[in-house]
A and B are shown apart, each in its own frame.
Chain A
Amino acid sequence: MSITAAQERARRYLVRVQDAAGGWGYQANQTAFVEPTALCLLALAGDERADALQAGQAWLRRTQLADGGWGVSPADQEGSWATAWAIWSLASTTTTHTEALKRGVTWWADWQPWVGEPGQERDPALWIDPTAAGWPWSTGGASWVEPTALGIIALAVAGRRASPRVAEGVRYLRDRTCANGGWNVGNPYMLGQSLPPAIPPTALALLALQEARAYQTEALVSTSLATLDTLMQQAHTPLNLAWGLWAMRCYTRRPPDLPARLCGLQAPDGSWRGSPYLTALAALALAELEESA
Chain B
Amino acid sequence: MSKRISRRTLLRLGLLGGILLGLELVRQRTESVGFDNWLRWNLRGRTAWLLGTQSPVALTACPTYQDTRASLEDAWNLLAQAVPPLRDRTVVVKPNLVDVLAGRPAHTHPAVVDAVVALCQARGARRVVVADGSAFQRDAEALVEASGLGAVLRQRSVAFVDLNTDELVDTPLPGHYTRLGHLLLPRTIVEADLVISVPKMKCHHWAGVSLSMKNLFGVVPGCKYGWPKNVLHLHNLCLSILELYEAVRPGLAVVDGVVGMEGDGPLMGTARPTGVLVVGCDGVAVDAVAARVMGFDPAQLSYLYLADWVGLGAIEARRIALRGLSIDAVRQSYEPPPTVSRPGGPAVACLPHRVVKVDNLA
Chain B residues in 8 Å Cβ range of A72: 168, 223-224
| B31 interface residue (CB < 8 Å to A) | no
Q: Is A60 an interface residue (CB 8 A)?
A: no
For A196, list chain B residues within 8 Å (CB).
101
- Given A76-B168, A141-B234, the answer on whether A193 and B264 have CB atoms closer than 8 Å is yes
| In-complex Cβ contact of B139 among A75, A124, A200 (8 A) | A200
Bits for B151-181, please: 1 = Cβ < 8 Å to A, else 0.
0000000000010010111100000000000
Which of B274-282, B294-302, B325-333, B340-348 lies at the interface? B340-348
Whether the Cβ atoms of A199 and B167 lie closer than 8 Å is: no
CA of A191 to CA of B338 in the docked complex: distance in angstroms? Answer: 7
Nearest B-chain residue to A144, judged by Cβ: B226
Distance of A280 Cα from B267 Cα, bound (Å)? 32
Is B145 engaged at the interface, CB distance under 8 Å to the other chain? yes
Answer whether residue A123 sits at the interface, using C-beta atoms and an 8 A cutoff: yes
> Which of A23-31, A90-98, A172-180 lies at the binding interface?
A23-31
Whether the Cβ atoms of A147 and B205 lie closer than 8 Å is: no
In the bound complex, do residue B226 and residue A137 qualify as a contact, i.e. CB atoms below 8 Å apart? yes
B251 at the interface (CB under 8 A from A): no
B231 within 8 A of A: yes
Number of chain B residues close to chain A: CB under 8 A: 35
Contact, CB under 8 Å: A185 / B345 = no
Give every chain A residue within 8 A of B169 (Cβ-Cβ): 75
Q: Which of B136, B205, B228 sits near A191, CB closer than 8 Å? A: B205
Q: Which of A25, A125, A239 contacts B342 (CB 8 A)?
A: A125
What's the minimum C-beta distance from A32 to chain B, rounded to whole angstroms?
10
Expressed in whole angstroms, the Cα–Cα distance for A27 and B194 within the complex equals 24
* Contact A75-B170, Cβ < 8 Å, known A26-B165, A198-B136, A239-B141: yes
> Is B184 positioned at the interface, with any CB of A under 8 Å from its CB?
yes
Closest chain B residue to A34 by CB distance?
Answer: B223
Asked if A199 and B139 sit within 8 Å, CB to CB, the answer is yes
A141 touches B184 (CB 8 A): no
Would you call B227 an interface residue if the criterion is a C-beta within 8 Å of the partner chain's C-beta atoms? yes
Q: How far does the Cβ of A199 sit from chain B's closest Cβ, in whole Å?
A: 7
B65 interfacial contact with A, CB 8 Å: no
- Return the chain B residue nearest A194 by Cβ: B268
Rounded to whole Å, the gap between the CB of B291 and the closest CB of chain A is 21
Q: Once the chains bind, are A27 and B225 in contact (CB under 8 Å)?
A: no
Fill in one digit per residue for B225-246: 1 if any A CB lies within 8 Å of its CB, else 0.
Answer: 1111011001000000000000
Q: Which residue on B lies nearest to A238, using beta carbons?
A: B141
Contact between B345 and A141, CB atoms less than 8 A apart: no
Interface check B127, CB cutoff 8 A: no
Which of A80, A123, A191, A238 gathers the greatest number of chain B CB atoms within 10 Å? A191
Instruction: Tell whether A4 is near chain B: CB-to-CB under 8 Å.
Output: no
Interface extent on A, as a size class? Answer: 35 or more
> Which residues from B are CB-within-8-Å of A138?
224-226, 231
Chain B residue with the shortest CB-CB distance to A143: B230
Cβ of A81 under 8 Å from chain B: yes
Q: Does B317 contact A (CB under 8 A)?
A: no
Would you give the shortest CB distance from A211 to chain B, in whole angstroms? 20
Interface flag for B137 (CB, 8 Å): yes
Provide the residues of chain A in CB contact with B26, threshold 8 Å.
Answer: none
Residues on B with beta carbons closer than 8 Å to the beta carbon of A63:
none
Bound state CA distance, A146 and B338, in angstroms?
28
Determine the distance from Cα of A25 to Cα of B167 in the docked complex, in whole angstroms: 9
Question: Which of B136, B138, B267 lies at the interface centre, i.e. has the most chain A CB atoms within 10 A of its CB?
Answer: B138
CB nearest neighbor in B for A25: B167
Counting chain B CB atoms within 10 Å of each CB, which of A137, A236, A273 scores highest?
A137
Whether the pair A124, B230 counts as a contact (CB closer than 8 A) is: no
Query: Do A81 and B138 touch across chains, with their CB atoms under 8 A apart?
Result: no
Does B139 lie within 8 Å of A140, measured CB to CB?
Answer: no
Assess whether A157 is interfacial by the CB under 8 Å rule. Answer: no
Would B341 and A75 count as touching, CB distance under 8 A?
A: no
Residues of A within 8 A of B342 (CB): 123-125
Complex CA gap A144/B268 in Å reads 21
Given A125-B340, A236-B145, A237-B145, verify A141-B139 contact (CB < 8 Å): no
Q: Which residues of A (137-160) have their CB < 8 Å from a CB of B?
A: 137-138, 140-142, 144, 146-147
Contacts of B230 in A (CB 8 A): 137, 141-142, 144
A116 is an interface residue with CB less than 8 A from chain B: yes
Nearest chain A residue, comparing its CB with the CB of B206: A125
- List, in ascending order, chain A residues with CB within 8 A of B264's CB: 190-191, 193
Q: List 7 A-B contacts (CB under 8 A).
A: A26-B162, A137-B225, A140-B231, A190-B267, A193-B264, A195-B268, A198-B138
Tell me the B residues contacting A by CB distance below 8 Å: 101, 135-139, 141-142, 145, 162, 165, 167-170, 184, 205, 223-228, 230-231, 234, 264, 267-268, 338, 340-342, 344-345
Q: Which residues on A are within 8 Å of B, measured CB to CB?
A: 25-27, 30-31, 33, 35, 72-73, 75-76, 80-81, 114, 116, 123-125, 130, 136-138, 140-142, 144, 146-147, 184-185, 187, 190-193, 195-196, 198-200, 235-240, 273, 277
